[in-house]
Amino acid sequence: MKKLYTYAVVALLLFSSCSKDDPIAVNEEEVITTMIVTLVPSDASTNVTLKTQDLDGDGPNAPVVTVSGDLKASLTYSGSVKFLNETETPAEDITLEVEEEADDHQLFYTVGSGLTMGVASTNNDSNGNPLGTKFDVKSLSASSGKLTFTLRHKPKKPNTGLADAGGDTDIEATFDIVIE
């Protein structure tokens, strides 16, 4: 009886330790590495691109934040946003998923003190509540300050803004903006 046990266990040990293949690498499909905001001015001058990119996701490297140029005063820009997962090749466009699940998402804009501009959503979810992946930016006088984009997952809808939206944050990116 005892021998049988010993053999059984030894056999199991050998069995489980022999078959060893390299584990499959996981490419995280939901990571958002990159957010690109494109602002198209109504006067057909140069587009302004705001970009934050963090290719190692939750890894130690900080995101690289770039702003392509300054905004012009008293001008309307038509804005759109793209969320990308660039750990995959080709990069996966996560904006599509967010727009598909519009009822569960909303992109909020926070204009920091000093900066004189207004931002308003121009697209809605199926219930007629703002989704925010398309928006208008109206710049006012020359100024500078921070502009923050916050993507909330499962916010309360409708809401009066970030303060009472709840939900959890998928993206939070801040850009230094200058209006000249």
Q: Which residues bind other proteins (CB under 8 A)?
A: 1-2, 5-6, 8-9, 12-13, 16-17, 20, 22-30, 32-35, 52-63, 87, 94, 97-98, 100-101, 110, 112-113, 146, 148, 150, 153-154, 162-163, 166, 168-174
Residue 18 to residue 21: CA distance in whole angstroms:
9
Q: For residues 46 and 164, which CB has a smaller minimum distance to other proteins in the complex?
A: 164
One-letter amino acid of 116? T
Concatenated DSSP letters of 72-117: PSSEEEEEEEEEEETTSSSPEETHHHHHHTGGGEEEEEEEPTT--E
Q: For residues 52 and 121, which CB has a smaller minimum distance to other proteins in the complex?
A: 52
One-letter amino acid of 173? A
Q: Closest separation between CB of residue 154 and other proteins, Å?
A: 7
Q: For residues 27 and 74, which CB has a smaller minimum distance to other proteins in the complex?
A: 27
What distance separates the 2 farthest-apart alpha carbons in the chain? 90
DSSP 72: P
Q: Closest separation between CB of residue 43 and other proteins, Å?
A: 29
Q: Closest separation between CB of residue 9 and other proteins, Å?
A: 5
